[in-house]
């Protein structure tokens, strides 16, 4: 099964430091080896936003180029709006981008790999499948 990898996971993996040994990063590396990783344009934009150095920006952009964006469809935006409305009725707020990520994963029967706790709250009200790292 393909896995849509959220910004929070990419950010953790692409940061320098001790995070390289985390279970989340190990799982992302394994998913990449298994050719199971997918990304969408809004996630790519979030990852690349705020990079101060032009050199670092180009390096990161080049690395991410190995992962083509899934094409988004009208149904993805409609589902995202539905998910937003469903959660709002239950008193749960989220960003349009977060609900678009949920919609893409749901519409394509994919798991969503994230460390963002907001998605756990969304999961109670919408049919998303969250990916959990395997034990290594």
For the chain, give the number of residues.
Answer: 136
| Within a domain: 136 | no
* Spatial distance between the Cα atoms of 17 and 62, rounded to a whole number of angstroms: 21
CA 62, 113, 32: angle at the middle one, nearest 5? 45
Which pLDDT score is estimated for 16? 59
Dihedral, CA atoms, 88, 91, 96, 99, nearest 10 degrees? -90
- Whether 135 maps to a domain, the answer reads no
Q: CATH no. for residue 11?
A: 3.40.50.1010
Summary mean pLDDT of the chain: 94
Domain membership of residue 108 as a residue range: 3-130
- Maximal CA-CA distance, the chain: 44
Tell me the per-residue pLDDT of 70-96, one tens digit each, with 9 for 90 and over. Answer: 999 999 999 999 999 999 999 999 999
Number of domains in the chain: 1
What φ, ψ does residue 15 adopt, rounded to 5°?
-75, 145
Q: CA 51 to CA 47: how far, in whole Å?
A: 8
Residue 48 belongs to what H/E stretch?
A: helix 41-48
Instruction: Report the predicted TM-score, pTM, of the whole model to 2 decimal places.
Output: 0.93
The answer as to whether 111 is a domain residue is yes
């Amino acid at each position: 099964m393909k896995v849509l990898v959220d910004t929070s996971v990419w950010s953790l993996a692409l940061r320098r430091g001790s995070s390289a040994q985390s279970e989340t990063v190990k799982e992302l590396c394994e998913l990449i080896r298994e050719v199971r990783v997918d990304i969408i344009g809004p996630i790519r934009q979030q990852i690349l936003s705020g990079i101060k150095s032009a050199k670092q920006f180009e390096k990161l952009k080049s690395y991410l180029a190995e992962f083509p964006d899934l094409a988004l469809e009208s149904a993805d935006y409609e589902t995202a709006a539905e998910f937003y409305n469903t959660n709002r009725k239950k008193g749960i707020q989220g960003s349009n981008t977060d609900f678009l990520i949920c919609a893409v994963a749901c519409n394509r029967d994919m798991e969503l790999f994230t460390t963002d706790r907001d998605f756990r709250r969304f999961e109670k009200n919408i049919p998303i499948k969250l990916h959990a790292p395997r034990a290594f």
